[in-house]
């Protein structure tokens, strides 16, 4: 096992476009990537998709806001969690908490927005 993860980086122009549609609710904007596989090393094959579709939003009302993303028609990650972009966080909250918020609180659908994504490895 490695200490990194594979997924997709959200390019700056896509991030800016989404920010115009979904204002961050909390003070720390993350809006960086979608995780595919975690706990892997740089030898892990990269995902092949280059487009995603923002299909929902999750917010626990206490500091975690995430956008739910479908990749190749599904929001289900291989590990059983949900593809998402951690969007904004309140002080003391962490990006990894987005998984729990989506699972515990669910998410509300939004009008789908297609975004370009860049497959890559993120070192841990």
CB 56 within 8 A of CB 109: yes
Structural domain includes residue 71: yes
Domain that includes residue 115, residue range: 4-39+49-122
3-class DSSP assignment, residue 84: strand
35 vs 100: CA distance, rounded Å: 14
- Tokens 């206490």 correspond to 62
pLDDT score at 1: 64
The answer to whether position 44 is within a domain reads: no
User: What's the total number of domains in the chain?
Assistant: 1
pLDDT of the residue at 45: 95
**Average pLDDT of every residue of the chain:** 95
Residue 59 placed within a domain: yes
Please give the chain's pLDDT, 124 residues, in tens: 678 999 999 999 999 999 999 999 999 999 999 999 999 999 999 999 999 999 999 999 999 999 999 999 999 999 999 999 999 999 999 999 999 999 999 999 999 999 999 999 998 6
Taking only the tens place, the pLDDT of each residue in 96-115 is 999 999 999 999 999 999 99
90 belongs to a structural domain = yes
Residue 91 falls within a domain, yes or no?
A: yes
What pLDDT is attached to residue 3? 86
Largest CA distance in the chain: 38
| β-bridge mates for residue 36, sequence order | none
Q: How far apart are CA 49 and CA 47, in angstroms?
A: 6
């Amino acid at each position: 096992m490695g200490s990194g993860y594979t997924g997709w980086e959200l390019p700056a122009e896509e991030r800016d476009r989404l920010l115009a549609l979904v204002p961050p609710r909390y003070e720390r904007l993350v809006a960086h990537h979608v995780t595919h596989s975690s706990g892997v090393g740089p030898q892990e094959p990269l995902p092949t998709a280059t487009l995603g579709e923002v299909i929902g939003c999750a917010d626990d009302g206490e500091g975690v806001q995430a956008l739910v993303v479908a990749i190749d028609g599904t929001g289900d990650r291989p590990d059983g969690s949900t593809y998402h972009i951690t969007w904004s966080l309140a002080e003391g909250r962490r990006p990894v908490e987005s998984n729990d918020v989506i699972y515990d609180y669910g998410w509300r659908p939004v009008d789908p927005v297609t975004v370009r994504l860049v497959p890559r490895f993120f070192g841990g």
